[in-house]
């Protein structure tokens, strides 16, 4: 097992149970009225561990996304997310970024003490029109390349961003992926599936561990997937939402996580990620160690998704967002493990024009 985390912020391995806050539509509309001066209706949005609502005006136009963060996350961590979004918006002005909108006091975050068990941190985020790639079916190579380009621009924008709220250990941080799989795999009911997950995670980690010290770190969005990139009228991604997982971790995690989501789509296979990887590399060149880590990290990401879903369904059985994801996440894992690690790493090197051992 890899070394346990030592962080100032939230530590998943110390507190693995994170049911989403329970907030009703009526409570959400009251928050909007009291703190934002809005008369609006809301519609619940899916989330693993937070509570989100789409906010509509009287003419059914979307005004924004109301986000009630899980109380396990600190105000400092949430401030880092807002500052990171602002940094990207400033560095990449042609990208659309879901930055927070001010409340009546002119603040980006509202602290509420009588809403849930614990302090609630509430934000109203800018809504980006166009829709995500989540339900787009097959992703063409140009779209996958667009995802890689977006991830590269984001990584470049965050390269020098620093904030104390980035010091956290989330279950989605691939530095802890093997520990997360080991901790949560017991919630997977099928013994054969448990064995496949454990074996694949161990094999992937055995490739990553020797490279760990050579992998550069920086602020990483950590969830720039098909569900969190928004498309322009061209159908290509140009918008970024949901900074809830922003952390200081291995920079290469950004593109590994982004491209793992390609495997969820119809007709995808491991080579479907290659246009995205090439586009990322053109903007934010990858080191030799990062290139060798990408596919093992992607395999670990899919394993983490499977075991995390199995765990979270137990904590939050009425969360339809989780149950709807389960089959897709198993499919991603199966596709990621359908090709040996060495074969995919060689394919990645060939796509990037890199010699073995570079």
3-state SS of 213-250?
HHCCEEEECCCCCCCCEEECCCCCEEEECCCCCCEEEE
Is residue 172 within 8 Å of residue 250, measured between CB atoms? no
pTM: 0.94
Query: pLDDT digit string (tens) for 163-219?
Result: 999 999 999 999 999 999 999 999 999 999 999 999 999 999 999 999 999 999 999
- Closest by CA to 157, choosing from 219, 217, 72, 231, is 219
Domains of the chain as residue ranges with CATH: 25-125 (3.30.200.20), 141-352 (3.90.1200.10)
Q: Which residues pair with 123 in a beta bridge?
A: 67
Q: Is the pLDDT of residue 1 over 50?
A: no
pLDDT confidence tier of residue 19, bands split at 50, 70 and 90: confident
Is residue 258 within 8 Å of residue 197, measured between CB atoms? no
Neighbours of 150 (CB within 10 A): 25
Taking the C-alpha atoms of residue 197 and residue 296, their distance in angstroms, rounded to an integer, is 13
Q: Over range 143-151, report the average pLDDT.
A: 98
**Inter-CA distances, 300 with 88, 303, 304, 309, Å:** 27, 5, 6, 14
Query: pLDDT digit string (tens) for 279-315?
Result: 999 999 999 999 999 999 999 999 999 999 999 888 8
């Amino acid at each position: 097992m890899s070394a346990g985390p030592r962080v100032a912020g939230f530590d998943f391995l110390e507190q693995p149970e994170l049911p989403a806050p329970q907030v009703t539509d009526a409570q959400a509309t009251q928050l909007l009225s009291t703190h934002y001066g809005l008369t609006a209706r809301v519609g619940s949005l899916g989330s693993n561990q937070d509570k989100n609502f789409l906010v509509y005006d009287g003419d059914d136009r979307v005004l924004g996304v109301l986000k009630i963060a899980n109380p396990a996350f600190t105000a400092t961590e949430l401030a880092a997310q807002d500052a990171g979004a602002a940094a990207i918006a400033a560095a990449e002005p042609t990208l659309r970024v879901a930055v927070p909108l001010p409340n009546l006091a002119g603040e980006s975050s509202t602290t509420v003490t009588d809403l849930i068990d614990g302090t609630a941190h509430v934000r109203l985020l800018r809504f980006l029109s166009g829709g995500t790639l989540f339900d787009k079916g097959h992703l063409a190579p140009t779209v996958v390349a667009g995802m890689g380009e977006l991830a590269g621009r984001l990584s470049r924008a965050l390269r020098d961003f620093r904030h104390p709220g980035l010091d956290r250990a989330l279950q989605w941080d691939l530095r802890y992926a093997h520990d997360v799989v080991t901790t949560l795999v017991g919630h997977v009911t099928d013994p054969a599936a448990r064995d496949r997950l454990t074996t694949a995670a161990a094999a992937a980690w055995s490739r990553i561990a020797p490279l760990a010290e050579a992998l550069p770190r920086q602020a990483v969005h950590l969830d720039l997937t098909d569900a969190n990139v928004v498309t322009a009228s061209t159908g290509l991604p140009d918008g970024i939402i949901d900074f809830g997982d922003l952390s200081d971790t291995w920079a290469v995690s950004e593109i590994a996580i982004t491209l793992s989501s390609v495997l969820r789509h119809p007709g995808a296979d491991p080579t479907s990620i290659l246009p995205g990887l090439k586009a990322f590399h053109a903007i934010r060149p990858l080191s030799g160690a990062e290139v060798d880590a990408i596919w093992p990290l992607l395999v670990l990401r899919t394993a983490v998704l499977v075991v995390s879903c199995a765990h979270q369904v137990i904590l939050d059985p009425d969360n339809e967002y989780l149950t709807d994801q389960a089959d897709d996440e198993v499919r991603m894992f199966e596709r990621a493990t359908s090709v040996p690690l060495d074969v995919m790493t060689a394919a990645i090197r060939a796509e990037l024009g890199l010699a073995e051992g570079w």
